[in-house]
Amino acid sequence: MFPLFKAVLSWCGTKSLFNSLRNRYSHDVISALNNTIRLRGKLRSLKCKIAFLHLCLKNFVVPGYISTRISKIKCRNPFGIERAFLLDEIRRHSETLSSIKTQYHLLWVFVWNTLSFFDKLRFSKLLSIQDRTFQTNARSKNDKYLSALIKRKFGIRTNSDQHIFNLSDYILSDIDKVMLSRGLDFCIPPSGIDKIGIFAEFELMFSQLRTLCPSSIESIGRLNEYAHSFVNSTVRSDESFWQKDHFQSAKLLKARSDIYITKPDKGSGVVILNRDDYSSKMATILEDTNKFQSLGDLSADHTLRTEIKFQKKLLQLYKNNFFSKEIYSLIRPVGSQRPRMYGLPKIHKPNSPLRPILSMVGSVQHGLAKWLVEILDPVVKFYSIHCIPDSSVCFFHMQSLSVH
């Protein structure tokens, strides 16, 4: 019976529907049909608005017209006030929706008892086509608007799947995707402010700026004013996007030992790998004897020996007046660590191979390298003709060479 009904419904076209209906029905019936379509459109629009407002309530944002209302009453707008405005808007639309439903039901009963069987099918098909078209357009429009509102308020990406590359066997939940879509550099704002620590940091900064000549006397007092205004500012937890489920998700992701979370080699995003796959790929890289040499176990670590030799050489240069005491204290290594190697997955290549990265932070040569960068950076910028600031300059340089 159902295939037969689908065949009949497909045969009942909607083209020139009202032209044929005007020839068989009175003016009152045609007017009732038009009113039915009009009320059906209002119902669609109100349901879409209510659904969008519920999404705004869930994502802690408000549409622009509600923000304008809040700004006109000249009060602070934490999410408590925004929530009240959203709930009031939902209540108003729900009341209007209930009233229109009553009118629509009465019209629909009249139309259903007046039209013939095939005219009912054709009219129902017309309403169904209008519903699908409206829902598709409204959903796309609301998704873009909601994404813009969330990004404007929280500065985050809302399309989680676009920036998360899950190459592991672990299935991410929706809350996990929301957590990871913020990126690896995102931090949760503190629930309170450490006043003693903040004042100590401002005092340290002021002592470092003491040798500089201030542009005005007011600038010194302004720094003190900034310190007190920052300390006395309150962290509004009611506007925070983070809930208990988000914190629980972060703890569970951190506690999992079977996955490895990192960033891709190129571009932004978050990559999730099986820890066994990551370890095997890194082991394959380190087993290349043309690039790496095994030093044995931990007893073969020469970090302390290298640090002592480096300190002796720096002390000799300092005694020979090659640099000042401040520079010597800056580049002299103390408590150095071994360089650490990790891999970044190349997600744009098959099987996502790892690119080895050797981190020299905290190593014996780290302080010297930072000091040399400060010295050589002006030379590279102003005196070297073989260094380029970015790839666009290289492209135009190659274009000019090809022309000449």
How far apart, in Å, are the Cα atoms of 83 and each of 59, 61, 76, 79, 149?
Answer: 11, 9, 13, 6, 15
Q: Which of helix, strand or coil describes residue 306?
A: helix
pTM: 0.50
Relative to beta strand 354-359, strand 270-274 is unpaired
Q: In what order do the strands lie in the sheet with 259-262?
A: 164-166, 270-274, 259-262
- The percentage of residues in the chain with a pLDDT greater than 90, rounded to a whole number, is 17
- DSSP class per residue in 151-198: HHHH-----HHHHEEE-SSPPPPHHHHHHHHT-TT--PPPSS--HHHH
* Chain segment 123-160, per-residue pLDDT in tens: 888 888 888 888 888 888 888 888 888 777 765 554 55
- Give the confidence band of 395 by pLDDT, cuts at 50, 70, 90: very low
- The percentage of residues in the chain with a pLDDT greater than 70, rounded to a whole number, is 76
- Give the confidence band of 217 by pLDDT, cuts at 50, 70, 90: low
What's the 3-state SS for 37-78?
HHHHHHHHHHHHHHHHHHHHHHHCCCCHHHHHHHHHCCCCCC
More confident residue, 64 or 46: 46
* Chain segment 280-316, per-residue pLDDT in tens: 999 999 888 888 888 777 667 788 889 999 999 999 9
Question: Which residues make Cβ contacts (< 8 Å) with residue 298, sequence separation at least 6?
Answer: none
Determine phi and psi for 63, rounding to 5 degrees. -65, 170
Quote the pLDDT of residue 238. Answer: 44
Around 309, how many Cα atoms within 13 Å sit in the side-chain half-sphere?
6
* Chain segment 79-113, per-residue pLDDT in tens: 567 778 888 899 999 999 999 999 889 888 888 88
Domain ranges of the chain: 2-154
User: What type of residue is 70?
Assistant: I
More confident residue, 77 or 19: 19
More confident residue, 217 or 295: 295
Residue 340: DSSP 8-state: E
Are the C-beta atoms of residues 44 and 134 closer than 8 Å to each other? yes
Which of 6, 9, 217 has the alpha carbon at shortest distance from 125? 9
| Distance (Å, whole) CA 168 – CA 183 | 18
Quote the pLDDT of residue 274. Answer: 93
Quote the pLDDT of residue 140. Answer: 87
